[in-house]
Amino acid sequence: MNQIPSLQLLDFTSSNQEQRQKFVADLGKAYEEIGFVALKGHFLSPELVESLYAQIRAFFALPDDVKAQYEIPGLAGQRGYTAFGKEHAKGRKTGDLKEFWHFGQYEKPENGEVYPDNVEVKEIPTFNSIGKETYKALEKTGVYVLRALAIHLGLDENYFDPFVKGGNSILRPIHYPPITEEPKEAVRAAAHGDINLITLLMGAQGRGLQVQNHNGEWLDAIAADDELVINVGDMLSRHTNNKLKSTIHRVVNPPKELWGTSRYSIPFFMHPVSSMKLDVLPHCVDAAHPKLYDDITAGEFLEERLRELGLRK
């Protein structure tokens, strides 16, 4: 596998059954082999993407003491601002070279789960409204991707809908500031797998994001301007007994001549409601594929991983 497969979501939303079936097959194959695809035809307009980047550049350019007002104690970084170097990859102690913001769910889930309120930035009023609009567009895109995966897995097409509509999903604008001195051990984001069901990533148009194939080789994941990079997270890998691969990926430091530049990326981490059972699907277990994981809920798994990342004490 030398590159990330590129797919067109309009093939799945089409009424043409042959196109739909091909999309499902291609998506399933990609997620079984490498765990990443680049997706065109999503619900984000170029204008919305441009607006969001303008907002996050303005926010991260604010003075540190202003940004620090939006770091909310006790939330493990689940809403608002998280300062530079506070998060680290599982199994590491060195903080990543990034700062970030979290927008969370705006709808009340049907199961009555209560989420923290989103944090409103006073200095940039449109930051909040543009963030909400982007959140909705990415959530809608994710629902369709999961519907295609449900078909691939032999489930009802709408199997994931009640778990992710109103789910604990997170939109995370990230700023990787200019590097001012030789990093001793830190990289912009150390090698890791994502916690959630799927991740939809804006901002993979330049070099930096790399994914690891089954031979242990690191491949550059570079998307076209109109593409999102979408990967499988650990929750979905676990639920499918590793049939769908949660691929290890990282964001490497740029060449020294580019140290003076910032990098921005905006992942949408699609989480289910915390009560979703991530127990291995029965038809993903057979003699050749014994059950790999203990039963656990999404909420329990998230708490476990937040502690491993250093965000929950």
Residue 214's φ and ψ, nearest 5 degrees, are: -70, -15
| Residue 313 is assigned to a structural domain of this protein | no
Candidate from 46-60, 76-90, 269-283 with smallest mean pLDDT: 76-90
Given a cut of 60, is residue 23 above it in pLDDT? yes
When pLDDT is cut at 50, 70 and 90, the band that residue 74 belongs to is confident
Per the structure, the count of domains in the chain is: 1
| Residue 80 is assigned to a structural domain of this protein | yes
- Here the tokens at position 119 are 């944090």
Q: Which amino acid is at 198?
A: I
pLDDT at position 176: 83
| Residue 1 is assigned to a structural domain of this protein | no
Q: What is the mean pLDDT of residues 5-34?
A: 95
DSSP assigned state of 145: H
| Residue 168 is assigned to a structural domain of this protein | yes
What SS3 string covers 16-36?
A: CHHHHHHHHHHHHHHHHHCCE
| Residue 244 is assigned to a structural domain of this protein | yes
Q: Name the nearest CA neighbour of 240 among 144, 139, 149.
A: 149
List the domain range (segments joined by +) for residue 283. Answer: 6-308
Given a cut of 80, is residue 210 above it in pLDDT? yes
Partners of residue 2 on adjacent β-strands: none
DSSP assigned state of 206: S
| Residue 73 is assigned to a structural domain of this protein | yes
pLDDT at position 2: 46
Q: What is the mean pLDDT of residues 230-256?
A: 86
Given a cut of 80, is residue 232 above it in pLDDT? yes
- Measured CA to CA, the distance from residue 197 to residue 223 in angstroms comes to 21
- Here the tokens at position 33 are 């082999």
| Residue 241 is assigned to a structural domain of this protein | yes
Whole-structure pTM value: 0.88
Given a cut of 80, is residue 181 above it in pLDDT? no
Q: What CATH number is associated with residue 63?
A: 2.60.120.330
pLDDT at position 73: 86
- Measured CA to CA, the distance from residue 147 to residue 168 in angstroms comes to 18
How much is the mean pLDDT over the chain?
87
What SS3 string covers 237-304?
A: HHHCCCCCCCCCEEECCCCHHHCCCCEEEEEEEECCCCCCECCCCHHHCECCECCCCCCCEHHHHHHH
* Sequence-separated (6 or more) residues with CB below 8 Å from residue 173: 52, 56, 59, 60, 100, 101, 131, 264, 266
Cβ 106 vs Cβ 135: under 8 Å: yes
Region for 229 from its dihedrals, namely left if φ exceeds 0, alpha if ψ lies in -120 to 50, beta otherwise: beta
Q: What is the mean pLDDT of residues 111-122?
A: 90
Percent of the chain residues past pLDDT 70, beyond the cut: 87
Q: What is the mean pLDDT of residues 89-108?
A: 75
Q: What is the mean pLDDT of residues 151-160?
A: 97
Cβ density class 151-170: b for 16+ within 10 Å, e for less: bbbeeeeebbeebbbbbbbb
| Residue 191 is assigned to a structural domain of this protein | yes
Q: How many CB atoms lie within 10 A of CB 18?
A: 9
Q: What is the mean pLDDT of residues 181-194?
A: 64
Q: How far apart are the first and last CA of the chain?
A: 39
